[in-house]
Amino acid sequence: MCETNNIDKPLNLSYLEKISGTNTKFIITTIDLFNSRMPKLIEEMEDAIALKNRDKIAFLGHKMKTSFGYLGREDIIEDLIEIEQLSISKVSEANMVRCFEHVKASVNKLSDQLMNYKNQFQN
Domains in the chain, please, with CATH? 13-122 (1.20.120)
When pLDDT is averaged across residues 34-44 and rounded to a whole number, the result is 97
Percent of the chain with pLDDT over 90: 78
Q: What is the pLDDT of residue 92?
A: 77
The pLDDT of residue 1 is 65
Q: What local confidence, expressed as pLDDT, does residue 14 receive?
A: 93
Residues 67-105: tens digit of each pLDDT: 998 899 999 999 999 999 999 997 778 899 999 999 999
HEC profile of the chain: CCCHHHCCCCCCCHHHHHHHCCCHHHHHHHHHHHHHHHHHHHHHHHHHHHCCCHHHHHHHHHHHHHHHHCCCCHHHHHHHHHHHHHHHHCCCHHHHHHHHHHHHHHHHHHHHHHHHHHHHHHC
Q: Which of 10-14, 88-92, 112-116 has the highest mean pLDDT?
A: 112-116
pLDDT at 38: 97
